[in-house]
């Protein structure tokens, strides 16, 4: 299962009723944060999720609205008595930016490990979660992310029995281990069915539309994308600042076919983005204008 919460939905400047864009995902007892603008820690406190379990923070880029909440969050994570290392990933320069901000958060009870991207589409794995980053097209180097939780095939009891393997060995094979029995080796693929459909969420802000976004949003269970404005006549403005309109995000979704599209990162000049929802659903029916702390549980197809 992936527990997903869009902590904040604002772009550029925070508003009292709209925090800056940040996403939190819980998976297998671990948490991932993507972006961390001012006020992110208050949003986490409001939903009651654990600060201590934040193992990974991914940054799209280093504009203040995506990272200004970091020093305070780090102190709060420290206050929650985390001692395990925390990993941060993002464009080149990440360590320099974070260490510069840490002038006001110097003493932490945990280490920070930095991953700076030197490829355009790097891929990682943490606690069973696949983390793909992909370079998008903003005014500064900026990356989107796709988090994917794969799912193994079903254990085939009949095949295990046919091989004559004792029941005590089944669990190891189910968890990917090779076992030895009566002088022969048995590998998981001998008793496991084909991989089943996993879960995935794609996240992308700030950027102009570009083909790589569609590639990583492809068939995702959830695609979260920026939509600064809903008015067609703001196109020149978003082109100039390398952002996108809500309708452009919907057109990407139309091609990538995720199960749902969540819009976020609204301009402070867009106080009521909900007014655009009906029109946007004509482009992509499963479009949702999100509010702060919009949540969703993504479950495997037959999961309770």
Closest approach of its own copies to the CB of residue 62, in Å: 6
Closest approach of its own copies to the CB of residue 140, in Å: 11
Q: In terms of CB distance, is 35 or 132 closer to its own copies?
A: 35
Q: In terms of CB distance, is 72 or 144 closer to its own copies?
A: 72
Closest CA relative to residue 151, chosen from 189, 183, 195, 184: 195
Q: Would you mind telling me the total number of residues written for the chain in this entry? A: 304
- Catalytic option among 3, 53, 55, 65: 65
Q: In terms of CB distance, is 42 or 174 closer to its own copies?
A: 42
Q: In terms of CB distance, is 229 or 276 closer to its own copies?
A: 229
What are the backbone angles phi and psi of residue 252, rounded to the nearest 5°?
Answer: -65, -45
- C-alpha distances (whole Å) from 127 to each of 17, 124, 150, 172, 244 are 34, 10, 11, 18, 33
Closest approach of its own copies to the CB of residue 197, in Å: 37
Task: Return the SS3 of 270.
Answer: coil
Closest approach of its own copies to the CB of residue 12, in Å: 8
Q: Under the rule (CB under 8 A), what is the footprint of its own copies?
A: 12-16, 37-39, 41-42, 45-46, 62-65, 67-69, 71-72, 75-76, 79, 96-97, 100-101, 103-105
- C-alpha distances (whole Å) from 107 to each of 82, 104, 110, 112, 201 are 13, 9, 9, 12, 34
Q: Taking a C-beta distance cutoff of 8 angstroms, is the pair 287, 263 a contact?
A: yes
Q: Catalytic residue at 65?
A: yes
Q: Give the residue numbers annotated as catalytic, written as ranges.
A: 65
């Amino acid at each position: 299962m992936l527990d997903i919460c869009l902590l904040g939905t604002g772009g550029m400047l925070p508003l009292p009723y709209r925090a800056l864009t940040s996403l939190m995902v819980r998976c297998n007892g671990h948490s991932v944060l993507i972006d961390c603008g001012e006020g992110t820690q208050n949003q986490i406190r409001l939903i009651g999720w654990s600060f201590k379990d934040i193992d990974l923070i991914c940054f799209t880029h280093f504009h203040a609205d995506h990272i200004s909440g970091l020093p305070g969050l780090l102190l709060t994570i420290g206050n929650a008595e985390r001692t395990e290392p925390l990993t941060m990933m993002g464009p080149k320069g990440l360590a320099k930016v974070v260490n510069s901000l840490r002038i006001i958060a110097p003493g932490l009870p945990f280490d920070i490990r930095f991953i700076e991207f030197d490829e355009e589409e790097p891929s990682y794995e943490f606690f069973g979660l696949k983390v793909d980053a992909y370079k998008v097209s903003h005014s500064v180097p900026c990356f989107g992310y796709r988090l994917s939780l794969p799912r193994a095939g079903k254990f085939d009891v009949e095949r295990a029995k046919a091989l004559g393997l004792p029941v005590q060995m089944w669990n190891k094979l189910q968890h990917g281990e090779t076992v030895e029995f009566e002088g022969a080796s048995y590998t998981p693929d001998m008793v496991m069915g084909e991989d089943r459909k996993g879960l995935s969420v794609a996240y992308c802000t700030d950027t102009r539309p570009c083909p790589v976004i569609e590639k990583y949003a492809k068939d995702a269970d959830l695609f979260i994308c920026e939509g600064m404005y809903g008015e067609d006549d703001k196109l020149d403005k978003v082109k100039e600042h390398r952002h996108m309109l809500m309708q452009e995000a919907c057109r990407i979704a139309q091609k990538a076919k995720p199960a749902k599209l969540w819009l976020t990162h609204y301009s402070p000049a867009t106080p009521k983005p909900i007014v655009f929802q009906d029109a946007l659903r004509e482009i992509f029916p499963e479009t949702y204008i999100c509010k702060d702390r919009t949540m969703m549980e993504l479950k495997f197809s037959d999961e309770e």
